[in-house]
Structure 1
Amino acid sequence: MALAYVGLGSNLEDPLAQVTDAFVELAELPLTSLLARSSLYSSRAVGPEQPDYINAVALLDTQLAPLALLDALQAIEQAHQRVRIQHWGPRTLDLDLLLYSDQIIEEERLTVPHPYLTQRSFVLYPLADITPNLQLPDGTPLTDLLSRCPADGLLRLPSPA
């Protein structure tokens, strides 16, 4: 089994429902258990002008190999009508494999840790919700990254009643 952290984001077609539904779909992946989910956050979009995002992070315990997990994540995105037209453009659902246990992966289709993980408040703060004492595969503590990454408009949403 491997612990995998997945970043979730949406800013189109009821983003709150897109992310909430994606948590359910992640929990239903074969050979995988959803161990934890962060709070939901609202964040400003990176890239061209577009609506704000809803973001979160999920922690999975999985027997799927990294590329098989990536394929499963992309299948969920497709089920949510994800269209890849513009880099950093608006999307119904974005699922990023952030970390896969302590592995460092550099393949054509997959880079883990995620290349922008250390620079994105909408990833770091939800990660801290789940595993505040997390260390990246290179030994960098999450707390160090948080101290260098301002919240920059990130807003934790209230938990649903």
Structure 2
Amino acid sequence: MEGIFLLLGSNLGNRTKVLLKAIDSLEKNGIEIVKKSSVYETAAWGKTDQQDFLNQVLQVETSLDAHELLKLILQIEHDLGRIRKVKWGERLIDIDILYYHDSKIKHEDLEIPHAGIPYRRFTLVPMVEISPDFIHPLYNKTQLELLEICEDDLAATLFQEK
């Protein structure tokens, strides 16, 4: 199945503005945005003593291979001010490659599909919004099927700017 999907997340600063800056940076670097999910707000996952996250899934097109795309994403995160301190800690911006078509990559710096997809409602809800029938290449289930069996009980609610 075709599709490159990225997950954006932010829980520091003006979270909405940070997501928009990340999208702008991707586009300025030749990444075509095909579809965007709504923005969802979710309590922090993993390390819960921090501000809620805003998350959004993008379907993109690029001529970059998966490793080149990762390199670009890491540069964009750095340029926007991301500092890596603690696993699952607060962050200004986080950009994850969820899927790169139906590729299966397990490398020390890159795992595709992203290992957390089936366990994270904040990923599955926006994925279902824009591509419910996209099949996970390892589990052979659609995004909708994965969401229906997801045991994560953190609500992913549509974000409304206040």
Q: Give the structure-1-normalised TM-score.
A: 0.92
Partner of 1:6: 6
Q: Which residue of 2 aligns with 1:135?
A: 135
Q: Is the 8 A contact 1:3 1:62 kept in 2?
A: no
Residue range with higher mean Cα deviation, 55-64 or 148-157: 148-157
Q: Give 1:74-85 correspondences, 5 Å limit.
A: 74-85=74-85
Aligned to 2:40: 41
Corresponding residue for residue 106 of structure 2 = 106
Task: Within 5 Å, give how 1:12-161 maps onto structure 2.
Answer: 12-30=12-30, 32-46=31-45, 47-138=47-138, 139-149=140-150, 152-158=154-160
How high is the TM-score relative to the length of structure 2?
0.91
Does the 8 Å contact 2:121/2:155 carry over to 1? no
In the alignment, residue 143 of structure 1 is paired with which amino acid?
L
Contact 1:4 1:61 in 2 (8 A): yes
Work out the percentage of aligned pairs sharing the same amino acid: 29
Q: Which moved more, 1:131-140 or 1:62-71?
A: 131-140
Q: C-alpha displacement at 1:128, in angstroms?
A: 1.0
Q: Give deviations 1:60-102, integer Å, cap 9, x for gaps.
A: 1111011100011111101111011100000000000000000
**Alignment length (residue pairs):** 157
Aligned mates of 1:37, 1:140 — CA distance in 2: 22
Do the aligned partners of 2:132 and 2:142 also contact (CA within 8 Å) in 1?
no
The whole-number CA distance in structure 2 between the counterparts of 1:95 and 1:115 is: 14
Q: Identify which range, 19-28 or 58-67, moves more after superposition.
A: 19-28
Unaligned runs of 5+ in 2: none
Q: Offset at 1:27? A: 2.0
State the Cα distance separating 1:152 from its structure 2 match: 2.3
